[in-house]
Structure 1
């Protein structure tokens, strides 16, 4: 074939042909390497290179895919990716279009993480409408972590600085190892049973995926989701993601961040209280002004409703005098009645009868005294009490002569 008869391709056509050839030749490949020049754009897409001792290749991971990664990669991370091999035609760069990204050497754990994450997401445990509001002014804060964890010191220091007035309750547990998930679940249940805190901080410092694996436990995820107390997760560093982060009511990038999200700053609270006080004072002043205006209007209406105020004042004075006079008459009547009743009571007083020379004979029966009214009630050898005008005496009857 002569040189003139050969087809002359444009650069774009050539690059597209190469890209098509690469896509036809390679299906999905798994590649391991070190991330370099990592950039996350506002669009949500990630661009970086994978390199090793022998070479490097450009990579792109689009937003729809990297949302499933579970951590934010950084330059220097060793990772494994599954990708399609192709070419970016405008630049003529061979590149990997990444579908899956995981930390190198953690394939099995990462696959289990993604599988559990997908399962719980399907069940709705990550839905925002399920998550509870974190109280803006908690009365007390609970912390679930290891007493030996460095994260606990950071959290306590942050809470003491931001909100020293809020009590803190620590629920100690293991946060690493096979027994850690059961311990964390038990701590959650204890917090619910005691009902002493308004929000729980689930915190742990950074570490490898194995170190943080306790927070990827399925039963722990259900315990967090069903907790009666809102949970703030602060596990690892900002780039670390666990199942507990996704299911918690609020995820903090670090343990210190969890403390900052749960505890309002003391000076901020004071500013809010001052703002509320000023608002209340303004409302009160406005109310007083409105009521004063209403009072002025009522006074004006009242002045128009009284055709002769002086005459009405005279009538009021006359009524007061009549009331006072009627009251005086009533008092005098009560005094006269009182005197009359006193005289009647005095006339009926038995003592007056005794003073006229009479006596009364009383008979003792059990614990009571009875006055004798009939001579037949007198019996010999019986003791009787005789009361006179002055004094009393006990007598014994030796003989009774009854006159008919």
Structure 2
């Protein structure tokens, strides 16, 4: 697809783009116009950054193009490319806007000419991943101090010599059992499965090493077999995979209980170095010797303390005899002590007793005087309170409303029972009730007057509640 651009006259251009705007427009145009595609070429100027990103140039006989593969994509490749490798990459065309450089953003990579095998590898890896065979939870722990190590590889393989050399150097005390099987060719997967089954039947090894030297993807293809992967996952003995070089990855590496980058590294991971074990043994022996010495010293101290507390019967009898003699002498001295001393002590005790005897007569006089003062104070208090009570009664009687009524006054209430204080508020014919010093009367207002005027009242037709009814004022 070739994008078309329309060129306008400068005088009619409504906007002038900056360089950044131009690069951004080209980048968006490339993203929208060119879908991801596969490209084949040779690796050059390869750089693996500390961030995990890969930067390289892909070239052929006539052209080059800069390429970048970010860490997330690079971790899925399964090998690290080297300068001169021919590869197939699946990439998107993009523009690095700060410099205006055209580049490829790589999503996938495989070795050129091995695309079919690599696709099979990826499909099998995805299938086994979905079955959960790569999960860390199913990995079995590797014995730290194995007694026997089993090795599955070819008797002619250089990897076998590397493994035996590493084991002889690190752990000469470990016995090695070899289960020979071809590691390359059409019959290799079946023979490897048989060797693994034989190792599990004999059950003599604590750890199994599945090893092979490096090679192309075709050379290592026996270790990408699904049957071998299932056999490794079902093995009762932990399996360490050491296939190829550090950059080579196979299905056996992913499904094994532990993956080693090389056969030599697999041998090193299979057992602890004898020198480390000897050092640990020396440390434990030294610690046990110190603990035993401390225990003996502690026991000796306890023995000395117990021996010091232990007394012979003869010595104990001598101590008792000596104490009995002392007590006998003290008893004789006490018995023959002069009577004068005892009399003096008795007189002193009597004198002290007299000083401590209470004086009853003096205390009795003080008690009688206190009782008399208490009686006099009580009489004064009673007389004072009686006088205060009489005054309060007289004061209360002076404010008694009944006494006021007895002197000829009356309390006037309206029909609601409220006391009437203003004659001007009364109405003619209004019914009132009078409370007198003795008895009461019901009256009606004849003519109300306010202020100092008199209010005339006529007797009500109702009978009085008590006493007789008289005109008011």
TM-score using structure 1 length:
0.72
Structure 2 CA distance for aligned equivalents of residues 295 and 84 of structure 1: 87
Does residue 161 (structure 1) correspond to residue 169 (structure 2)? The answer is yes
1:64 matched residue in structure 2: 72
The structure having more radius of gyration, on CA atoms, is 2
- Aligned residue in 1 for 2:449: none
Does the 8 A contact of 2:143 with 2:271 survive in 1?
no
Q: Aligned partners of 2:66, 2:297: CA distance in 1, in Å? A: 73
Q: Does 1:31 align with 2:39?
A: yes
Q: In 2, distance between residues paired with 1:238 and 1:224?
A: 21
In the TM superposition, what whole-angstrom CA distance separates every residue of 1:174-205 from its partner, at most 9, and x where no partner exists?
11112111111110111011111111111111
Matched residue count: 312
Structure 1 residue aligned with 2:205: 197
Structure 2 match to 1:311: 316
Q: Measured at CA, do residues 168 and 26 of structure 1 come closer, stay the same or move farther in structure 2, by a change above 3 Å?
A: same
**Which residues of structure 2 form unaligned runs of 5+?**
1-8, 321-473
Q: Which one of 210, 216, 230 corresponds to residue 222 of structure 1? A: 230
> For the residues of structure 2 that align with 1:201 and 1:124, how far apart are their CA atoms?
23
Seen in structure 2, the aligned counterparts of structure 1 residues 267 and 194 have a Cα distance that, compared at 3 Å, is same
Q: Is the 8 A contact 1:68 1:114 kept in 2?
A: no
Kindly tell me: are residues 255 and 314 of structure 1, through their superposed partners in 2, closer, same or farther at Cα, counting changes over 3 Å? Answer: same
Q: 2:104 aligns with which of 87, 96, 105?
A: 96
Cα distance 1:178–1:299, how it changes in 2: closer, same or farther (>3 A)? same
Decide whether the 8 Å contact of 1:142 with 1:171 is kept in 2: yes
The C-alpha deviation readout for 1:1-51, integer Å capped at 9, x for no partner, is 334845222222111111111111101111111112222233322222211
- Equivalent position to 1:110, from 107, 118, 143: 118
8 Å contact 2:46–2:54 — kept in the other structure?
Answer: yes
Q: 1:280 to 1:2 in 2, by over 3 A?
A: same
Name the SS of the counterpart of 2:177 in structure 1: strand
Q: What is the CA–CA distance in structure 2 between the aligned matches of 1:286 and 1:41, rounded to whole Å?
A: 57
Q: Single out whichever of 82-91 and 264-273 deviates more from structure 2.
A: 264-273
Determine the structure 1 residue equivalent to 2:416: none
Determine if contact 2:90/2:106 at 8 Å carries over to the other structure: yes
Counterpart of 1:11 (choices 12, 19, 28) is 19
Q: Aligned residue for 1:173?
A: 181
Are residues 125 and 295 of structure 1, via their aligned partners in 2, closer, same or farther at CA, if it must alter by over 3 Å? farther
What is the CA–CA distance in structure 2 between the aligned matches of 1:263 and 1:47, rounded to whole Å? Answer: 38
Q: Deviations over 1:118-171 (max 9, x none)?
A: 111122211222111211211011110111112112221222222222111110
Moved more, 63-72 or 105-114: 63-72
**Structure 2 contact 240–258 (Cα < 8 Å) conserved:** yes
Measured in 2, the distance between the counterparts of 1:275 and 1:77 equals 52
Pairwise mapping of residues 338-377 of structure 1 onto structure 2 (< 5 A)? none
Query: Taking structure 1 as reference, are residues 95 and 309 closer, same or farther at Cα in structure 2, changes over 3 Å only?
Result: farther
Contact 2:212 2:263 in 1 (8 A): yes
* 1:251 partnered with 2:268: no
String of CA shifts for 1:44-75, please: whole Å, max 9, x gaps: 22222211111221222222222221122222
